[in-house]
């Protein structure tokens, strides 16, 4: 029997090598970083998780003790509350519904947005800025610009719709436009607005800030967030009976 070179194992404890795992470069704990850059999960991460869970559990207890979940009268299909509203996180879509065709507002726009959201990482494929809030100072500037742009335009569009309706635009459209109110005001104009305004935003960001893909993506995403928040707020606090527009502090109560 040939004796292998090197230190000899104790009898019964001969070491053999096995392939335990195949680990891709990306998955390994940071070969290019030193040990000091890492922390043990036990206790450092687990302590944070435990405290966070306890604080939230306590907070939830307090909220649940102080505020009761709403419960109205028994469901009655013959009594329609005015206004009837969806849960708050869908009120942005219900707000869109007031301004355009129902299929567009309720189905096509949200579906298109979700699909777009899923394609974001396949459009913005650089690894630049991973793990850094807003990637760069320019990213922050872009986000602020886009937030202001989108808020102003969304509020402006809702206001424009309000005043146009007051001026009798719907009746005029029904009488004078081909297809009446159903085609140009309910489909064509909203689609154009929803396509053109984001494109204008991207072009502006490229012109003003020489935005790269990551930066204009921050712009588009921030635009979505701002629009979502503004529409949710309007839908929740500014739509009263008949889904008419009211000031948030003068919102009449719901009635049947």
Partner 1 sequence: MLEVPAQVWQKVKTNYIWRSLFRHGYPDSRKNQSLAVFTNVFLHLHPVKVRRHALAIPYTWCMGGLSFFLFLVLTLTGTLLMFYYHPVSAAVPGADDAYQDIKDLETVVIFGQFLRNMHRWAAHGMVITVFLHMIRVFYTGSYKPPREFNWVVGTLLFVVTLVLSYTGYLLPWDQLAIWAVTVGMNMVGATPFVGDEVRFLFLGGFEVGGNALLRFYVLHCVALPVIAGFLMAIHFWRIRKDGGISGPL
Q: List the interface residues with partner 1, window 34-73 (CB under 8 A).
A: 37-46, 48-49, 52-53, 56-57, 60-61, 63-65, 67-73
- Only one residue has tokens 């007051």, namely 166
Nearest approach in angstroms of CB 130 to partner 1 is: 5
Q: String of b and e for 4-33 (b: at least 16 CB within 10 Å)? A: eeeeeeeeeeeeeeeeeeeeeeeeeeeeee
Nearest approach in angstroms of CB 175 to partner 1 is: 25
Judged by CB under 8 A, which of 18, 33, 34, 176 binds partner 1?
33
Judged by CB under 8 A, which of 9, 76, 156, 196 binds partner 1?
76
Contact status: 112 vs partner 1 (CB under 8 A): no
Output the CA torsion sign for 144, 147, 153, 158: negative
x-or-dash string of contact with partner 1, 206-225, rule CB under 8 A: --------x---x--x---x
Spatial CA neighbour of 230 closest among 157, 166, 163? 157
> Cβ contacts of residue 152 below 8 Å, gap of 6+?
none
Spatial CA neighbour of 85 closest among 241, 246, 249? 241
Judged by CB under 8 A, which of 9, 58, 126, 244 binds partner 1?
126
Query: Taking a C-beta distance cutoff of 8 angstroms, is the pair 93, 105 a contact?
Result: yes
Contact range with partner 1 by CB under 8 A, out of 4-12, 133-141, 172-180, 188-196: 133-141
Length of the chain: 256
Query: Taking a C-beta distance cutoff of 8 angstroms, is the pair 37, 30 a contact?
Result: yes
Contact range with partner 1 by CB under 8 A, out of 4-12, 97-105, 168-176, 178-186: 97-105
Nearest approach in angstroms of CB 91 to partner 1 is: 9
Nearest approach in angstroms of CB 114 to partner 1 is: 6
Query: Taking a C-beta distance cutoff of 8 angstroms, is the pair 82, 242 a contact?
Result: yes
Contact range with partner 1 by CB under 8 A, out of 4-12, 81-89, 148-156, 183-191: 81-89
Contact status: 102 vs partner 1 (CB under 8 A): yes
Nearest approach in angstroms of CB 3 to partner 1 is: 32
Contact status: 153 vs partner 1 (CB under 8 A): no
Query: Taking a C-beta distance cutoff of 8 angstroms, is the pair 148, 136 a contact?
Result: no
Which one, 154 or 215, has the nearer CB to partner 1?
215
Q: Give how many residues touch partner 1 by CB under 8 A.
A: 79
- The C-alpha atoms of residue 131 and residue 109 are separated, in whole angstroms, by 30
């Amino acid at each position: 029997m040939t004796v292998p070179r090197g230190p000899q194992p104790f009898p019964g404890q001969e070491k053999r090598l096995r392939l335990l795992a195949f680990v891709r470069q990306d998955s390994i704990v940071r070969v290019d970083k030193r040990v000091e850059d890492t922390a043990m999960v036990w206790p450092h991460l687990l302590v944070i998780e435990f405290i966070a869970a306890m604080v939230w559990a306590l907070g939830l207890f307090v909220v649940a003790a102080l505020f009761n979940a709403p419960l109205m009268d028994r469901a009655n299909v013959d009594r329609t509350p005015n206004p009837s509203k969806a849960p708050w996180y869908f009120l942005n879509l219900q707000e869109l519904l007031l301004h355009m065709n129902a299929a567009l507002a309720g189905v096509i726009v949200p579906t298109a947005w979700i699909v777009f959201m899923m394609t974001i990482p396949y459009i913005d494929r650089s690894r630049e800025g991973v793990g850094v809030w807003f990637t760069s100072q320019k990213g922050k500037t872009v986000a602020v610009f886009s937030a202001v742009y989108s808020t102003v335009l969304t509020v402006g569009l809702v206001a424009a719709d309000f005043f146009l309706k007051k001026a009798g635009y719907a009746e005029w459209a029904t009488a004078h436009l081909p297809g009446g109110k159903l085609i140009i005001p309910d489909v064509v104009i909203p689609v154009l607005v929803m396509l053109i305004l984001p494109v204008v935003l991207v072009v502006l960001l490229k012109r003003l800030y020489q935005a790269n893909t990551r930066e204009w993506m921050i712009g588009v995403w921030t635009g979505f967030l701002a629009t979502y928040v503004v529409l949710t707020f309007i839908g929740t606090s500014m739509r009263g009976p008949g889904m008419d527009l009211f000031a948030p502090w003068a919102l009449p109560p719901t009635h049947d």
